[in-house]
Chains A and B, each alone.
Chain A
Amino acid sequence: MRKPDSKIVLLGDMNVGKTSLLQRYMERRFPDTVSTVGGAFYLKQWRSYNISIWDTAGREQFHGLGSMYCRGAAAIILTYDVNHRQSLVELEDRFLGLTDTASKDCLFAIVGNKVDLTEEGALAGQEKEECSPNMDAGDRVSPRAPKQVQLEDAVALYKKILKYKMLDEQDVPAAEQMCFETSAKTGYNVDLLFETLFDLVVPMILQQRAERPSHTVDISSHKPPKRTRSGCCA
């Protein structure tokens, strides 16, 4: 298997749909490359680079272990359920502290999943109907409740994260660009989420590679080359 150049980590509470989100993207766009074994680790080739995507355990009893996953991450996707406000609160309370081990220039995306269960999501679902002719008719008939978390709440959280990380808004992507509302079930906005992140991560890879030679001191270049012949190389 190819070695990844960068990694993206999915964080969020249990049952917000992190795994479904990841599987939806991988299966929908690249059905042939989906691993039939695991559903928690994926390797995606984007242009000429390999990006790995890590799913994490969000259950509360595993709280605190997530910092190991975020070590050296280039981007972190913070996921919540638009129908449960508490899952957004958990992102700030439990998961934000875990991201300290990520890269200093790590990107953040705020994703509200399961919009298909809301009134507004129904409209979005209808728009997608042409792309998904196999969608069940029963879903459209069932009543939908108004969603509890608005996009403005996610934008507010994004700005809190910038403040927490002491980042300037000028140096990072705009909040509106990094906050998504998705539905893993209907596929709404899933592709947009991942491909936006991939596009933003690639320049970081290039920058890291460009920076690498200047940080390296070639010690062996100062040593005189040995002229003695080794028997095994004869």
Chain B
Amino acid sequence: MSLKSERRGIHVDQSDLLCKKGCGYYGNPAWQGFCSKCWREEYHKARQKQIQEDWELAERLQREEEEAFASSQSSQGAQSLTFSKFEEKKTNEKTRKVTTVKKFFSASSRVGSKKEIQEAKAPSPSINRQTSIETDRVSKEFIEFLKTFHKTGQEIYKQTKLFLEGMHYKRDLSIEEQSECAQDFYHNVAERMQTRGKVPPERVEKIMDQIEKYIMTRLYKYVFCPETTDDEKKDLAIQKRIRALRWVTPQMLCVPVNEDIPEVSDMVVKAITDIIEMDSKRVPRDKLACITKCSKHIFNAIKITKNEPASADDFLPTLIYIVLKGNPPRLQSNIQYITRFCNPSRLMTGEDGYYFTNLCCAVAFIEKLDAQSLNLSQEDFDRYMSGQTSPRKQEAESWSPDACLGVKQMYKNLDLLSQLNERQERIMNEAKKLEKDLIDWTDGIAREVQDIVEKYPLEIKPPNQPLAAIDSENVENDKLPPPLQPQVYAG
């Protein structure tokens, strides 16, 4: 080993100088040990190989790109799959909900089976549980009531049950069609009781009231303010309208109610409470009862004020005033619900129907209300509607003692704002006056100075000629005597 290394350092074998390819010619280090010919061949081969590699690289990149695109497609497919799963999940959820409702309804219809009711209650939300309790109570009351009529009661119960099952399948009908079904049902049951059951009219009336209570408690959730109608829109419109008319005073409507009397004020408050309470009832008859109670309080208030029975010319404007003051919730929905599902004989001719008709008139009047209706000029009406002015401002001194604190505070705030506005205007006027005074003063001063300048003009003499320096050359030689010449004396 050492010998071999020594030999290399000392002596270079001739074979090392030859071309690596073994062609016999001498190689050159610049050509990496190849001769020029072999180097050219080798270089061409390498270039060809490079081209081949480049091509393969391009092909691989293309394939990768295609794979990326395919992967993107696959990703979209995955998203589509996800959405499909989501849809399936939603469908399952919907189906489960429908099943729950059906189960609840089915369980609820079997009143005697308490265990199943318990099972139905457990998975249901609290709202359903509350509904179930109320429905259960009404159902029990209905059954107890019908027991007193024996065979006729059984027949009525059967018919009522059939009707409710029919209504369940008619839920997709329009609300008007459902209303017709209910009216037909009322009519048929009353007819059959009078003709075949020979039930006296008073008992027919009681039975009809119980039937209405039972079926409308069960149907309320589906037929009150249904999504298929524009009842909700009308509710919001009338509520907004009434809110815009808060400024209407009893005098504008010729309301013959003096709220300064404590008993009258109490009646007004009770009437407002009753009209608002209407929305909390479910049975049309109960809603009508609220309207009737409200109306009776109004009649009492008028009677106390005028000391004589009230006429319709007194009652209707007062009812309008109560509606404007109370702004009852879901007013149109309640009116529509009563019109659609109440026992029609009660609505057409009875006392409840009279008061209900007046309420419909009041609402119609409020919707069409204009300046002429209140004996106002159009300008005043527009200003009141836009909130620019409040007619109560002039009557601040004559506030009713029953006016609520909020209203009093509001009017006090309005007065404060008015005073602040006046004070602001006064300050602005003073500021403008001060500005004007300043301008006037400046102008006055300028004018005075101008006057003085004009009155005493200042004449400034031109500067005197500077005295000539003694040593400077004298310009005016002609005035001076000639210079003395030295005299030479001979001597």
Please report A residues at the B interface, Cβ cutoff 8 Å: 1-7, 14, 18-19, 23, 37-41, 43, 52, 54-59, 61-62, 64-65, 68-69, 71-72, 212-213, 216, 218-220, 226, 230-233
Q: Are B313 and A212 in contact (CB under 8 A)?
A: no
Q: How near does chain A come to B366, taking the closest CB pair, in angstroms?
A: 11
Q: In the bound complex, how far is the Cα of B246 from the Cα of A75, in angstroms?
A: 39
Q: Are A57 and B300 in contact (CB under 8 A)?
A: no
Kindly report which residue of chain B lies nearest to residue A54, judged by CB atoms.
B354
Within 8 A of A (CB), among B309-352: 309-313, 315-317, 345-346, 348-351
Contacts of B373 in A (CB 8 A): 61
Q: Residue B75 at the A interface, CB < 8 A?
A: no
Residues A38 and B357 in contact in the complex (CB < 8 Å), given A3-B350, A220-B188: no
Contacts of A39 in B (CB 8 A): 299, 308-311
Contacts of B312 in A (CB 8 A): 18-19, 40, 55-58
Kindly report which residue of chain A lies nearest to residue B296, judged by CB atoms.
A37
Select which of B187, B309, B364 is within 8 A of A38 by beta carbon: B309
Residues A232 and B143 in contact in the complex (CB < 8 Å), given A56-B312, A57-B312, A58-B313: yes
Select which of B316, B345, B351 is within 8 A of A1 by beta carbon: B351
Q: Are A6 and B316 in contact (CB under 8 A)?
A: no
Kindly report which residue of chain B lies nearest to residue A43, judged by CB atoms.
B351
Contacts of B313 in A (CB 8 A): 14, 19, 57-59
Q: In the bound complex, how far is the Cα of B285 from the Cα of A1, in angstroms?
A: 14
Q: In the bound complex, how far is the Cα of B317 from the Cα of A61, in angstroms?
A: 10
Kindly report which residue of chain B lies nearest to residue A217, judged by CB atoms.
B188
Residues A212 and B351 in contact in the complex (CB < 8 Å), given A55-B312, A65-B364: no
Q: Are B350 and A19 in contact (CB under 8 A)?
A: no
Q: Are B349 and A38 in contact (CB under 8 A)?
A: no
Please report B residues at the A interface, Cβ cutoff 8 Å: 110-112, 143, 154, 157-159, 187-188, 191-192, 195, 201-202, 205, 254, 295-296, 299-300, 303, 308-313, 315-317, 345-346, 348-351, 354-355, 357, 360-361, 364-365, 368, 372-373
Q: In the bound complex, how far is the Cα of B354 from the Cα of A38, in angstroms?
A: 12
Q: In the bound complex, how far is the Cα of B372 from the Cα of A6, in angstroms?
A: 36
Q: Are B143 and A41 in contact (CB under 8 A)?
A: no
Residues A4 and B300 in contact in the complex (CB < 8 Å), given A40-B311, A65-B365: no
Q: How near does chain A come to B20, taking the closest CB pair, in angstroms?
A: 111
15 contacts between A and B (CB under 8 A): A1-B351, A18-B311, A19-B309, A37-B300, A59-B317, A62-B361, A64-B364, A65-B361, A68-B357, A68-B360, A216-B187, A218-B188, A218-B191, A226-B158, A230-B157
Q: How near does chain A come to B166, taking the closest CB pair, in angstroms?
A: 11
User: Besides the contacts A38-B299, A231-B112, what 9 more A-B pairs have beta carbons closer than 8 Å?
Assistant: A3-B205, A37-B303, A52-B349, A52-B350, A54-B357, A72-B349, A231-B110, A232-B112, A232-B143
Q: Are B372 and A37 in contact (CB under 8 A)?
A: no
Q: In the bound complex, how far is the Cα of B315 from the Cα of A45, in angstroms?
A: 24
Q: How near does chain B come to A23, taking the closest CB pair, in angstroms?
A: 6
Kindly report which residue of chain B lies nearest to residue A50, judged by CB atoms.
B349
Select which of B254, B350, B354 is within 8 A of A40 by beta carbon: B354
Q: How near does chain A come to B304, taking the closest CB pair, in angstroms?
A: 11
Q: Are B354 and A219 in contact (CB under 8 A)?
A: no
Q: How near does chain A come to B8, taking the closest CB pair, in angstroms?
A: 118
Q: Are A37 and B299 in contact (CB under 8 A)?
A: yes
Q: Are B310 and A216 in contact (CB under 8 A)?
A: no
Contacts of A61 in B (CB 8 A): 365, 372-373
Q: Are A212 and B191 in contact (CB under 8 A)?
A: yes
Contacts of B188 in A (CB 8 A): 216, 218-220
Kindly report which residue of chain A lies nearest to residue B346, judged by CB atoms.
A3
Q: How near does chain A come to B206, taking the closest CB pair, in angstroms?
A: 11
Kindly report which residue of chain A lies nearest to residue B204, judged by CB atoms.
A3
Contacts of A230 in B (CB 8 A): 157-158
Kindly report which residue of chain B lies nearest to residue A4, judged by CB atoms.
B349
